[in-house]
């Protein structure tokens, strides 16, 4: 007799089904009934773990965001150069471009997310604020270490970085003649030329920056626990 499925595995299966349907149909068209059918479980089992449809799909987004940030932090902890904005932006760009759930999350695609962004406005706003705060703090540390342009203050560095990266993400909505790896390389080259100063990243600086981003994972995990039963 097979052992009964444990709750964590069942939650992952529900989230997998919800993520696939979110990408396929968009938030407004997907129902809890469809998620349950796609996950091969009863509707009541979905509600056993998620009180509402909003709670379920917000958790899908939180899981996706955690995966992107977690992979970035892992890379930073194994390679000090990954804390540089040019390298980290390339990493995130590829992660988003290759993940069908991450793309609408980071680009705010209304065709997929629909009303969910409005329903989860408070949580999403806090997440964006936390992410912006972590980025600003990281830029402060890197600038103090002499790895970013000293003729720009942190707010100016943040503005340039945001303008460049946002531009690369937004233009992805148009047909692209350049493959995704090359686009990621172009993003890294542009960020490097715009705000960085050549130099090796000291190990202590790399650890500090990686720790800043790891704090985001703690916040995401806290939000996750609030929604999953």
The CATH number covering residue 16 comes to: 1.10.357.10
pTM of the model: 0.85
Residue 52: name the closest of 179, 228, 204 by CA: 228
pLDDT the model gives residue 1 = 39
Say if 52 falls within a structural domain.
yes
- E-state strands within 82-178: none
pLDDT the model gives residue 122 = 67
141, 208 contact by CB (below 8 A) = yes
pLDDT the model gives residue 142 = 98
- Cα–Cα distance between 165 and 6 in angstroms, integer? 41
Say if 2 falls within a structural domain.
no
Task: Kindly give the parts of the chain with pLDDT less than 70.
Answer: 1-7, 117-124, 172-177
Say if 1 falls within a structural domain.
no
- Cα–Cα distance between 44 and 4 in angstroms, integer? 17
Beta-carbon contacts of 77 under 8 Å, excluding residues fewer than 6 positions away, are 206, 207, 210
Q: For the CA atoms of the chain, what is the radius of gyration? A: 19
Say if 205 falls within a structural domain.
yes
Say if 49 falls within a structural domain.
yes
pLDDT the model gives residue 107 = 74
Residue 150 tokens, joined = 């000293």
Using the structure block, give the residue that is written with the tokens 């090796």. Answer: 200
Q: How would DSSP label each residue in 29-54?
A: T--HHHHHHHHTS-HHHHHHH-SSHH
Helix axes 7-25, 32-39, angle to 10 degrees: 120
Say if 89 falls within a structural domain.
yes
Burial class (CB in 10 A: 0-12, 13-18, 19+), 220: buried
Say if 183 falls within a structural domain.
yes
Phi, psi angle pair for 148, to nearest 5°: -125, 160
Using the structure block, give the residue that is written with the tokens 């995130």. Answer: 92
The domain total for the chain is 1
Say if 81 falls within a structural domain.
yes
48, 36 contact by CB (below 8 A) = no
124, 106 contact by CB (below 8 A) = no
Q: What Å distances lie between residue 67 and 14, 64, 163, CA to CA?
A: 17, 5, 24
- Cα–Cα distance between 126 and 166 in angstroms, integer? 19
Task: Give me the percent of the chain exceeding a pLDDT of 90.
Answer: 59
Using the structure block, give the residue that is written with the tokens 């909505």. Answer: 173
- Cα–Cα distance between 178 and 189 in angstroms, integer? 15
- Cα–Cα distance between 122 and 99 in angstroms, integer? 24
pLDDT the model gives residue 139 = 98
Q: Which domain holds residue 97?
A: 7-227
Phi, psi angle pair for 5, to nearest 5°: -65, 135
């Amino acid at each position: 007799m097979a052992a009964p499925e444990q709750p964590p595995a069942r939650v992952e299966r529900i989230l997998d089904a919800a993520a696939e349907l979110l990408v396929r149909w968009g938030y407004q068209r997907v129902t809890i009934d469809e998620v349950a059918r796609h996950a091969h479980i009863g509707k009541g089992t979905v509600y056993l773990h998620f009180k509402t449809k909003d709670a379920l799909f917000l958790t899908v987004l939180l899981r996706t965001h955690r995966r992107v940030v977690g992979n970035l932090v892992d890379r930073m902890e194994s390679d000090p150069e990954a804390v540089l904005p040019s390298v980290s932006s390339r990493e995130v760009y590829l992660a988003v471009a290759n993940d069908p759930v991450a793309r609408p999350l980071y680009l705010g695609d209304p065709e997929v997310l629909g009303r969910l962004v409005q329903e989860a406005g408070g949580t999403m706003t806090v997440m964006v604020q936390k992410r912006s705060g972590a980025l600003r703090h990281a830029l402060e540390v890197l600038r103090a270490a002499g790895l970013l342009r000293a003729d720009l203050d942190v707010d100016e560095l943040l503005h340039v970085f945001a303008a460049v990266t946002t531009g690369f993400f937004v233009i992805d909505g148009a047909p692209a003649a350049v493959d995704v790896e090359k686009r990621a390389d172009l993003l890294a080259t542009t960020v490097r030329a715009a705000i960085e100063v050549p130099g090796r990243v000291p190990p202590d600086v790399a650890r500090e920056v990686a720790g800043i981003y790891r704090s985001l994972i703690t916040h995401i995990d806290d939000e996750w626990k609030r929604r999953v039963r």
